[in-house]
Amino acid sequence: MASSSSSLSRISTLQNHISPLEANNKLRSLVKISPQVSEAISSGRAVVALESTIISHGMPYPQNLQTAKEVESIVRENGAVPATIAILNGVPCIGLNEEELERLASLGKSIQKTAGRDIPHVVATRANGATTVSATLFFASMVGIQVFVTGGIGGVHRHANHTMDISSDLTALGRTPIAVISAGVKSILDIPKTLEYLETQEVYVAAYKSDEFPAFFTEKSGCKAPSRVDSPEDYANMKLNRKAGILFAVPIPKQHSAAGNLIESATQRALTEAREQNVTGNAETPFLLARVNELTGGTSLAANIALVKNNALIGSQIAVALSQLV
């Protein structure tokens, strides 16, 4: 394994100058790829990337560990190989074993929330990093993974006209040719502005079996979806050789969307509290999700877990369909 300072320099160079084909070989000397994931990539089998911030910062322990294991099981049961991505002791890991998942889950919020810009620092300091959407996209793309499942992507925050708080998830999607499966955009964000920003980044956005873009905890956001897709196969056939990513928005299962009004009311209260307590930047989303869970008596956490599992199901089907096109 290369030294941390050497890895810092090489990863920085890769982030700025890399092409996917060149990186596929170079990054194998910088990252740890699990045997199962490595074999699946080499043989052209379906692989699904999974972020780790949802484990460390999105849910409390031990629900986060249980959910992580169940999501990976869903991916396997549907014919794909799960590749949870994180940085452990400065080493980017693509595919975690049970011990590594347990460590990630138990450390929780003490692990640094790592976006794409933070990767060189976390590696150089040999720290632990839970990858956000943007960092997960970076590592998944470098090793040739085509599908990435998450809960909900980041976006344009409410009051962004004053704070300029816009998630790097959006720009990462604009430059990374990966299919991202999510339950739309987190409802704590400004969804109309997020969709406008995605259009500017040339990210193709489609809703699954719906004409309306979902809002994470609820099936409907009040925003018309730019496109509609009705099966994983339709989506796979749509994927072209583009430089930008594709956002596949899957509505939360109906049985878990009934509490949408309760959750939205709690969201509004949490947003007010965040402003009053001056919670900003990458601390805002974990604060809001935790506070909404408290205010809803755990209802939002149950909904969060349900939608992530549903996304894993659909994402695995898409990954298998994509692998069969090659």
- The pLDDT tens digits of the residues spanning 138-176 come to 999 999 999 999 999 999 987 788 778 899 999 999 999
Strand partners, 86: 93, 130
What percentage of residues in the chain have a pLDDT greater than 90?
A: 64
Cα–Cα separations (whole angstroms), residue 172 to 87, 102, 179, 197: 18, 28, 12, 12
pLDDT at 10: 56
User: Going along 142-202, which residue ranges are E strands?
Assistant: 147-149, 179-182
pLDDT at 234: 81
Q: What would the pLDDT profile of 25-45 be if each residue is shown by its tens digit?
A: 655 678 999 999 999 999 999
pLDDT at 201: 95
Tell me the domain boundaries of the chain. 31-251+304-324
Per the CB < 8 A criterion, the answer to whether 279 and 12 are in contact is no
Reading the block at residue 158, the tokens are: 């409410």
3-state secondary structure of 179: strand
pLDDT at 19: 52
Distance, in Å, from the CA atom of 290 to the CA atom of 301, rounded to the nearest integer, reads 9
**Residue range 31-251+304-324, CATH number:** 3.40.1790.10
Reading the block at residue 278, the tokens are: 């001056």
Calculate the average pLDDT of the chain: 88
- Return the active site residues: 51, 186
Residue 281 — pLDDT band, cuts 50, 70, 90?
A: confident
For residues 111-124, average pLDDT? 95
Residue 293 — pLDDT band, cuts 50, 70, 90?
A: confident
pLDDT at 188: 77
pLDDT at 326: 60
Looking at per-residue pLDDT, the higher value among 300 and 7 belongs to 300
User: Going along the chain, which residue ranges are E strands?
Assistant: 32-33, 47-50, 81-88, 91-94, 112-114, 129-131, 147-149, 179-182, 204-208, 228-229, 246-249
Give kind and range of the element (H or E) at residue 262: helix 260-276
Residue 110 — pLDDT band, cuts 50, 70, 90?
A: very high
Residue 298 — pLDDT band, cuts 50, 70, 90?
A: confident
Residue 112's Cα: distance from chain center in Å?
A: 16
Distance, in Å, from the CA atom of 154 to the CA atom of 194, rounded to the nearest integer, reads 9
How many CB atoms neighbour CB 96 within 10 A?
Answer: 25
User: Going along 106-245, which residue ranges are E strands?
Assistant: 112-114, 129-131, 147-149, 179-182, 204-208, 228-229
Looking at per-residue pLDDT, the higher value among 10 and 226 belongs to 226
For residues 13-28, average pLDDT? 54
**Phi, psi values for residue 62, rounded to 5°:** -100, 5
Q: Is the pLDDT of residue 129 over 70?
A: yes
Among 78, 176, 76, 91, residue whose Cα is nearest residue 136:
176
Q: What would the pLDDT profile of 69-82 be if each residue is shown by its tens digit?
A: 999 999 999 999 99
Among 200, 207, 235, residue whose Cα is nearest residue 222:
207
pLDDT at 64: 95
Residue 250 — pLDDT band, cuts 50, 70, 90?
A: very high
Residue 192 — pLDDT band, cuts 50, 70, 90?
A: very high
Quick one: angle between helices 284-295 and 260-276, nearest 10? 130
The set of residues, in sequence order, having a beta carbon less than 8 Å from that of 189 and lying 6+ positions away, is 154, 155, 156, 157, 158
